[in-house]
Amino acid sequence: MVFLASKLSQPEQHQLAKLGELLGGKIADTFSGSVSHVMVPEGHMPTTYSTLLGLLAGCWVVKFSWVEACLQAGKWMPEIEHEAEKAPSAVASTDVACSHHSSMAVSSSSLAPLRRLPKTNLPSCSGRGRPTPGPAAQA
């Protein structure tokens, strides 16, 4: 397992490192196709680049309580009980403009089914996908 912390405090990051040492996980500095879990603080999911990429790639986005549960049990615990909640209603959705639609609302709850979609060129959490360079990278 490869973890990416998003908005975790220093003590929480130390606990995450401890979990990695205890059960064999690694901590990434930035998002990549090897990331399997994005760790966020308790409460509403932060709308960071890391969490959004994690959602789009089908990674688990879990609250810090999952780290605590795994440490307490001394083994990997099911993530489902610790999945991050969607953002508060004021920022719960983002309008995405499409050329053939007027707009489409995207929220963390509407992205959950992406875990079941076929893999794309997005960096996937299993590491099977490969990012496609954008126009700026090709120039």
Assigned domain for 39 exists = yes
- The alpha carbon of 3 is separated from its chain's Cα centroid by a whole number of angstroms, namely 9
CA distance 139 to 137: 6
Assigned domain for 136 exists = no
Check residues 101 and 11 and name the one with the higher pLDDT.
11
pLDDT at 60: 96
Assigned domain for 139 exists = no
Residue 44 has pLDDT above 50, yes or no: yes
The total number of structural domains in the chain stands at: 1
CATH code: domain of residue 106: 3.40.50.10190
CA distance 60 to 97: 26
Assigned domain for 23 exists = yes
Assigned domain for 49 exists = yes
Check residues 56 and 120 and name the one with the higher pLDDT.
56
Nearest to 55 by CA among 101, 25, 94, 103: 94
Note down the domain range covering 66. 2-128
Assigned domain for 37 exists = yes
CA distance 122 to 89: 28
Cβ neighbourhood burial of 72 (10 Å; 0-12, 13-18, 19+)? exposed
Assigned domain for 108 exists = yes
Assigned domain for 9 exists = yes
pLDDT in tens, 66-108: 999 999 999 999 999 999 986 554 344 444 433 333 333 444 4
The mean pLDDT value for 104-129 works out to 48
